[in-house]
Amino acid sequence: MKLTTFLTQNMQIMLIAGTETPYLTLEWSMSLLLNNPNTMEMISNEISTHIGFDRLLQENDLGKLGYLQNVINESLRLYPTLPLLLPHEASEDITVGGYSVPRGTMLMVNAWAIQRDPVLWDEPNKFMPERFDKIADQDRYKMLAFGVGRRGCPGVNLGYRILGLALGTLIQAFEWEKKIGIEEVDMTAFYGLSMAKLKPLQVLCKPCSNMITHIL
């Protein structure tokens, strides 16, 4: 394969794989926060404590924003954008959980079900970002939003950075409200290869007053 073809194809894959997943996660996260205004306020307080309002948050601030990170993880747990990951193929005859899987079988992993399994998670359908405060290393296979292992998402670190910067900056710079007349943002999902909201999020926002004073 020519080098230019190789590079072009890699760029295409990164653009396709690396744009839809973050923007869908951002939409799910913002919807969850609008339905949980106390959590939105806690992120805002965390940003106010560690960064303030005289500049926009930057990549090297993300390490200080543990609660924001918990919210991102909890959004990815409840609404993984690739709920069945990508199809995998067994490269040899294997046995998984007592089932024999012949070489060449296509395997789909239901990350959505694993991430809401009541055996693995307390109150699995509840939005509780604090649960990620105490997630142990050996529990990492419960959380499959980026897959795991050799064919897991190679963009995982970039993905977390994009999400942290985008969600953090949106909360730092704007005040967010549900559309007038809406009590709860509808969280119904539309299932395809990726999981989007059935009804796109419509929301009201205005520049954060603290930010206007400091930046203008």
- Catalog residues that contact ligand HEM under the rule CB under 6 A: 13-14, 17-18, 21-22, 25, 81-82, 85-86, 145-147, 151-155, 158-159, 163
CB of 80 to ligand HEM, least distance (A): 7
Spatial contact of 84 and 109, defined as CB atoms under 8 Å apart: yes
Identity of the residue, 65 or 208, whose beta carbon is nearer to ligand HEM in the bound complex: 65
CB of 167 to ligand HEM, least distance (A): 11
Identity of the residue, 18 or 66, whose beta carbon is nearer to ligand HEM in the bound complex: 18
Cα separations (Å) of 148 from 30, 70, 141, 178?
Answer: 26, 19, 7, 35
Identity of the residue, 147 or 168, whose beta carbon is nearer to ligand HEM in the bound complex: 147
CB of 96 to ligand HEM, least distance (A): 15
> How far is C-alpha 199 from the geometric centre of its chain's CA atoms?
18
> Is 153 annotated among the ligand-binding residues?
yes
CB of 115 to ligand HEM, least distance (A): 11
Identity of the residue, 68 or 153, whose beta carbon is nearer to ligand HEM in the bound complex: 153
> What CA–CA distance (Å, rounded) separates 46 from 20?
28
CB of 52 to ligand HEM, least distance (A): 27
Identity of the residue, 88 or 178, whose beta carbon is nearer to ligand HEM in the bound complex: 88
- Residue reference for tokens 């899987």: 101
Spatial contact of 205 and 169, defined as CB atoms under 8 Å apart: no
SS (H, E, C) 19-56: HHHHHHHHHHHHHHHHHCHHHHHHHHHHHHHHCCCCCC
Spatial contact of 147 and 86, defined as CB atoms under 8 Å apart: yes
- Known binding positions: 153
- Known binding positions for heme: 153
